[in-house]
Amino acid sequence: MDKKPHVAIVGATGAVGREMLTCLEERNFPLSKITLLASTRSAGKRLKFRNEALTVEELTVESFHGIDIALFSAGGGISKEFAPIAAEAGCIVIDNSSAFRMNPDVPLILPEINGRAALNPSRNIIANPNCSTIITLMGLAPLHQAFGLKGIIASTYQAVSGSGAQGIIELEEQIKALVAGNPLKTSVYPHQIAHNVIPHVDVFQETGYTKEEQKMLHESRKILGIPELKVTCTCVRVPVVRSHSISITAIFEKDPSVEDARKTFEGRRGIRLVDDPQKALYPVPLGTTGNDDCEVGRIRKDQVLPNALALWVVGDQIKKGAALNAVQIAEIL
Instruction: Write out the catalytic residue numbers.
Output: 131, 244
**Cβ atoms of residues 60 and 38 within 8 Å:** no
In terms of Cα–Cα distance, which of 165, 99, 87 is closest to 129?
99
**Cβ atoms of residues 264 and 186 within 8 Å:** no
| Type of residue at 286 | L
**Cβ atoms of residues 324 and 17 within 8 Å:** no
**Cβ atoms of residues 151 and 226 within 8 Å:** no
Within 10 angstroms of residue 254's Cβ, the number of other Cβ atoms is 10
Longest dimension (CA), the chain: 61
What are the start-end ranges of the H helices in 55-164? 76-88, 111-114, 131-147
**How far is 185 from 246, CA to CA, in rounded Å?**
28
Q: Is 263 left (phi over 0), alpha (psi -120 to 50) or beta?
A: alpha
**Cβ atoms of residues 314 and 244 within 8 Å:** yes
**C-alpha to C-alpha distances, 74 to 39, 97, 280, nearest whole angstrom:** 9, 8, 39
